[in-house]
Chain A
Amino acid sequence: MGMRELIVSKIKDGTVIDHIPSGKALDVLKVLGISGGKGHRVAIVMNVESSKLNKKDIVKIEGRFLSKDETDIIALIAPTATINIIRNFEVVEKRKVSLPRVISGLIRCPNITCITRHEGIETNFEILSAGLRARCSYCGIELSYSEFVELILKQLGTRT
């Protein structure tokens, strides 16, 4: 805790994403579509000590309250993440991330003969937790979680 306070101060209102696996903070921001371009104050803390994870990343976003639907998507990259909603310096809501059943419109289907590639419609990937796979609900192509995450980050313009 002491280390964190040295690096970045508490936020008044907003969202803190804690317990991100070390090195994944930038990927989390990318998947959330937060580039810093909209003027919110964003603090990124990387590779700090953690009792749970040994090392972890933390992201603090001032002035934005991320909903469960918005944050569940990061469960693919940071399944250990916890979301803290802060109002007037107090944690008013604390939740874990859980895999969504469907991820809509985030990425293009990698199958070049999928109808979604030719009709300009939103993709729908069903998350099949039993087999740790994602499946395009149109063409049926299945990807492992790691392939799916790699694709998301590639298409959103960052590295795994």
Chain B
Amino acid sequence: MTLSATASNRVHDIAIIGAGVVGCAVFREFTLAGLDCVLIERDADIISGASKANSALLHTGFDATPGTVEAACVRDGYRRYRQIHERMNLPLLETGALVVAWSEEQRAKLPGIVAQAHANGVTDVFEIAAGAVQAREPGLGPGVAGGVWIPGEAVIDAWSAPLGYALQGLLNGGTLLRNTEVTGGTLDDRVWTLTTATGPTIRAGIVINCAGNYGDLVEAIARPSPFAITPRKGQFLVYDKPAYDLIRSIILPVPTARTKGIVMTRTAYGNLLVGPTAEDQAERRIATIEAATLEQLADAGRRMLPGLAAVPVTTAYAGLRPATQFKDYQIEALPERRWITIGGIRSTGLTGSLGIAALAAELYASHFGALKPLADPLWPRLPNLTEELPRPSAQAGRSEIVCHCELVTRDEIVAALDGPLPAGSLGGLRRRTRCMMGRCQGFYCSRRVLELAAPKIPGLLHA
């Protein structure tokens, strides 16, 4: 399964290019639909591109543009995540969200936000007065002019969810190829032959493009791409755990046409997140953090939430969202090309992914043939990374704690380096376990993490 070379004459039913959250959800969907799927990832681990850095929110879709594919996928994905999260042990922090207006001008836009939510079928959304906002969130700074309360918004874990989707695909017979960059492909006699940078070709009946920030380049394998990706960079600040209690709900700004704006939210891991920025760039792979921008984020955070001034920053990160010239998702089936396009999945992709996967399955069924879902699929259970539920460090018979900031035990790290989807990079190990992700950033645990990781992950240490 994992990392094993596929026999050159094997023809998979489906080849999915890109193991971001969308690719992982599509992989799960089609494997559970009884098809032989191969998930192809250019990086050393899954969730290495657009999906690895976002705000990890489960959106109701209250602010989507009504009637769009995005609105439908987010609504459906939201519902599906809530259906399966317990079974996979995926986190869900029921925080609710507050859109906070910081001026009269912004307050004037609140009725429109409520109306849009209702048009999107999110009917439990309502406007609240400034005093009620402050009563819910006494930590907010001065200048609150009003708010909109969205009870259904929630915090999830941007890592465990796609890992769970990929694992379920693997457990039910799917194949994952990492370190495998698709460079081209030809369709002959209803079979795609994909060429890769590393050599072996991959054959499949249908190709699904889930290539995120490379979506238009991969699309060009099938046709001149109708969309062009301009990666939109978002930088985030992560505050240390004492900041977790400064707010209870997700604090959203009144959005602009371009971006949802700077969000403040608890994380599933017990931190507080401030971000993202929205900066267009040509570079598809490298998302740098910039000190001046981070200072501005910190300033904005302190203005909205003065208590942040007393809490140290743990780390900062940046991600790239695959924006196109279109506002909506770009999802379609190309029957003659035996290809399904899933492009331009922006920041809502984490929530939308399960809905996107279901939509892809519908497209498949209408164009390529009926699906026969597995009668009794296997379900993985993900290790708990949240502080809201008991962690292994608090259980009798635990192994030694290696990472003291995040309380990660040796057994958790060993497990993440083993099994059907072992960490393929140090970043993947860190995201799977939280080791080295806390306030000391590896001061106390680097040696012990490397003792476990270096034999399994190449390139960390010199001989």
A and B associate: no
B residues contacting A by CB (< 8 A) are none
